[in-house]
Amino acid sequence: MSLKDQITDDMKTAMRAKDSERLATVRLLIAEIKRKEVDERIELNDAQVVAIVEKMIKQRKDSITQFEAGGRQDLADIEKAELAVLVTYMPAGLSDEEVAAEVAAAVAASGAAGPQDMGKVMAILKPKLAGRADMTAVSAQVKKALAGG
């Protein structure tokens, strides 16, 4: 079952269970998926759906930070609830050791000699790790590996 089918099934389940909070978040996700499909006239695969979920998670985290800074805990709580639903659609994350091993393999595969080769290494890692690891942390590990090597 594709991720898109799973999301649609979850919407139906939330409707039957009258879980309005989960239903609203799933509908937002489906709307974003459909918008992208219509705009680009394509059928999204799982990797593209994960990218959309990842983007929505980042938006929620940014909103939570802003709302809490502005003293609007009520709005921050709504965003946290949406974030909890969205996280369930992300693939299982990688451990720090697994990320470090992927970084080491990518550095070796690209023949990177220093910080100027960071783009080459990230180009190898991004398709492998997108959605499974925090790319900001991956970038920091690559920078560290290239500075030391």
For the segment 60-103, what is each residue's pLDDT rounded down to a tens digit?
Answer: 999 999 999 999 999 999 999 999 999 898 877 777 778 788 88
pLDDT of 28 > 60? The answer is yes
Instruction: State the burial class of residue 123 (Cβ atoms within 10 Å of its Cβ: 0-12, 13-18, 19+).
Output: exposed
* More confident call, 137 vs 18: 18
User: What confidence score (pLDDT) does residue 22 get?
Assistant: 93
Percent of the chain with pLDDT over 90: 48
Provide the sign of the torsion angle of the four alpha carbons 28, 31, 33, 35, taken in this order. negative
Instruction: Please say whether the beta carbons of 132 and 91 come within 8 A.
Output: yes
Distance (Å, rounded) from C-alpha 131 to C-alpha 120?
A: 19
| Residues contacting residue 105 through CB under 8 Å, at least 6 positions apart | none
Model pTM score: 0.70
